[in-house]
Structures are given as C-alpha cells and as structure tokens.
Amino acid sequence: MQIKDLTEQQLKNLIRNTVDETLDQYFGDQDEGKEVQEAIMKNLLEIQGKRTAGRATIPAEEVYKKYGITKNELFS
C-alpha cells in the first residue's frame, strides 16, 4: 500500500506511530528499570481482572462529558 492510498485516519495513525517510535528511540523509556509500587501493582491487576471478567466499563463519551472534553480536542 502506498501513502496516496491511505485514508486520512490511516495517515494520521501512521504519522502518530512514527513520531512515537522516533521519540521512544531518542529518549528511551523513562520508567525502564524502575519498580512499580506493590499497592499500585495490586490496583492495576485488580482492574485488569475485572475487565477480563467482563465488568462493564465507563464509555469514553461519558468520560468526555463528565470532564467537559470533546473527542476532537483529544485527537486533533
């Protein structure tokens, strides 16, 4: 596939991913080698378990509305 064949969204994603990869290569992972605190790890694993079990999550639109954010602000 050539760039001229990409949709606008595909092109944006390609650019975003390229920039992310380049920044990661240049700056590296700031958290690499650091340990996650036990309480935080427990919390993250609990959240992951609930999602795996099929617990309902809050739709993104509801979060946007709650915090007064528009989707266009996030992805423009």
Domain borders along the chain are 36-70
Q: How far is CA 35 from CA 31, 38, 41, 56, in A?
A: 8, 9, 10, 30
Contacting residues for 76 by C-beta, under 8 A, at least 6 apart: none
Q: Is the pLDDT of residue 59 over 90?
A: no
> Any idea what DSSP says for residue 34?
P
Residue 33 DSSP SS3: coil
pLDDT band at residue 40 under the 50/70/90 scheme? very high
Q: In this predicted model, which residue has the larger pLDDT, 38 or 30?
A: 38
Better-predicted residue by pLDDT, 13 or 57: 13
Looking from the CA of 21 toward its CB, the CA atoms found within 13 Å total: 6
